[in-house]
Structures are given as structure tokens and as C-alpha cells.
Structure 1
Amino acid sequence: MKILIVSDSHRLSGDLTSIKEKHAMEVDLMIHCGDSELAANDPCLNGFAVVRGNCDFDKNFPEDHVENIGDYRVLVTHGHLYSVKSTLMNLSYRAKELDASIVCFGHSHYLGAEMIDNILFINPGSIKQPRGRTEKTYVILEIESAEVNLRVFELEKGEISELTQKFSLPKKE
């Protein structure tokens, strides 16, 4: 299973379309973690599971979205309602409430991934206004059994292989 994860595109419909066209045939799911600043019916969001960010005014986007992928549950949210710029604790509590193994979020524009209490937290960064680095990033998450491979891509240059990370998810009972 491969999941494309993007966030904080802030009206970049052409770039979203390019990313979708580039990877659509290789991924099983596409996620947008909010702040698209587009209407829910915008064609460039077709095929994406999209949540509402603090800069999204279309009320048709949900605040949170949950996807069941094989043995794992994925929580998608923007992060502003969980204060992710200061802590992941609130988001961790929400993930535990929903029995999520993977959490995809944005809001801070900082690329990052880490395991906390056996939950994988992923922020794909931003394809418009990255913070903490210059690359405009998104990620592809590959899940094979309990092994997870996180590949980072720069909007124009492609994969940044030195940022690839591997994680192990605990088996669900």
C-alpha cells in the first residue's frame, strides 16, 4: 500500500495537479492535510482525502478523517485544533482515542516523522511555504506488513533519497 501525503498547498492548484498526475498510478490513496485554500469541489482535489485547515473556508471539508488501511487506522487532520505547533500530546491523545497507528497532519509547514507511543506521526511539510528547510516537500508512505518506508519528495526535483526513513509499526491484535 502506498499513500501520497501533501499539506499546506495554499492555492497551488497547478502543483497539486502535477503531483497527482506524477504519482496517481503508483499510489493507492492520496491525502491532503489541509490548507489547500480551494473549494471542496475543485478538480485538482479529486481523488484526495482532504481535511479542513485553519485557512480553508469551505465547510464541506471535515476537521478529521479516518482511513482503514489493511491492519492499520490512519488519522488525517490539519493540526491547528490540536496545537501541533507547540506539542503533539493533544494529537497523540486523539490518535489513541481512535486507535490510530498513523497520524498525518500539517499546519506547522515543518517536514517531520516520528514514532510516539507506537504511533507514527507524519508531517509532509509544505509545497508552498516550507519552514525549517528550503525544499517544498510532500511524502509517499509505503506500508508492507508492519514495515513502513517514508520517502520524501521535493516539488520540482523529485525524491530526496537521503531523507528516506524506515519505521516498524506494531501489529494490531
Structure 2
Amino acid sequence: MAILVMSDTHGLVREVQQVVGRHKVDKILHCGDFCVDHQREPFSQMILVRGNCDTTKAVPSEEQTRWKDLNILQTHGHLYGVKSSLLRLTYRAEETGANIVVFGHSHIPVCGVVRDVLFLNPGSLQMPRGFDVPTYAVLEQDGTTEKTVEVTVSYYDYQGNSVSSLGGSYSLRR
């Protein structure tokens, strides 16, 4: 199966429900700025982190999820200055032992490996920046070796069409 990753939906509910209904996944991670009641469907099914526009204190600002051979650090990114650099987030990944970091805040879809750690920003379903359509991502673990984990990241637009110019296959530390 897979993990659905989205961020910066800023009050969208119907569109988020459509995305969630479109993919059969093990987990759904939302990287903040959901801007609705976190107990409302489909948000209540998700692992949520609080963004700078979210007001509830019941949702943490950071989560760590283990899935298969992946150790995923999830945050919104505003507390780590992701709009200017991923350096602080890289240090946090090292502190937590994460091999994947999912984040939002910038609304810019990003997917790349630094120091054997995958940094994944799914973009925004509400207000895309740096890309012409709203996006979200699906993460799959493809295989493992003694020292590495192979993953694939696929991006989709808000209608579920594949965005082949984003994502790809990556080898991460185990």
C-alpha cells in the first residue's frame, strides 16, 4: 500500500474528501494549514500537524510515524524556516533519525534527497506556488536492502491526474 501526503488545504473539505476517496492507502499525512475542525471527516482519519494558520492546540506541531522501513518526520515547516532553507529541518531529521521528512508551508512541491533523507513537500491543494496546478503526493516503499530503502513518490493534481514532472524513485538510508 502507500501513504497519501497533502498540505495547505486552507479550509477545503469537498476537494480533500475527493482526494482521500481516490486512493487506497495505509495512512494519510496532512502537513498543516488544514484550517477546519480537526475532528471533522475526513481530517479525523489523518495524522495531522498544526500549521501557522491552524488554531487548535489539540494537534501537535510535529509527528513521527514509523511505516514499514520508513521513519517519517512530519511538520508544517514554519517553525524550521523552510521558505528560506531546509538546513534546520535537515538537522531535525538527523536528531530524530528520520529517513523521510514531509512538510508544507511554502505551497511549493519539492521532492529530493539530502544526506540520504527524502524531503517531500506535496504542494498545496488550495493555493499552489511555484507550480501551475494544486498538488498532493503518494509515497510507496518499493524495496529494501541491508542499508537502504527504495521509495517512489508520485504527484497528482487536484483532479487525480499524474504530474510526471514531479516525484520519482529514491534510495534512502535505512
Percent identity for Structure 1 against Structure 2: 39
* TM-score after normalising by structure 2: 0.93
1:65 to 63, 66, 69: 63
1:100 paired residue among 98, 101, 105: 98
- The verdict on how the C-alpha distance between 1:66 and 1:157 changes in structure 2, with shifts beyond 3 A counting, is closer
Contact 1:14 1:44 in 2 (8 A): no
Q: Conserved in 2, the CA contact under 8 Å of 1:105 and 1:123?
A: yes
Q: Does 1:160 align with 2:163?
A: yes
The answer to whether the 8 A contact 2:5-2:28 is kept is yes
Measured in 1, the distance between the counterparts of 2:30 and 2:167 equals 20
Segments of structure 2 that go 5 or more residues without pairing to the other structure are 144-148
Residue 157 of structure 1 deviates from its aligned partner by 4.9
Partner of 2:11: 11
Shift of 1:72: 1.9
Contact 1:127–1:155 (CA under 8 A) maintained in structure 2: yes
Whether 1:151 aligns to 2:154 is yes
Q: Give yes or no for contact 1:110–1:123 (8 Å, CA) kept in 2.
A: yes
Tell me whether 151-160 or 54-63 shows the greater mean CA deviation: 151-160
Mapped partners of 1:33, 1:163: distance in 2? 18
Q: Which aligned runs of 4 or more in structure 1 are off by greater than 4 angstroms?
A: none
Q: Which moved more, 1:138-147 or 1:100-109?
A: 138-147
Q: 144-153 vs 9-18, which deviates more?
A: 144-153
Unaligned runs of 5+ in 1: none
3-state SS, counterpart of residue 128 of structure 1:
coil
RMSD: 1.1
Q: Which residue of 2 aligns with 1:117?
A: 115
Q: Quick one: distance in 2 between partners of 1:67 and 1:164?
A: 21
SS, match of residue 136 in structure 2 = strand
How many residue pairs get matched?
A: 169
Partner of 2:146: none
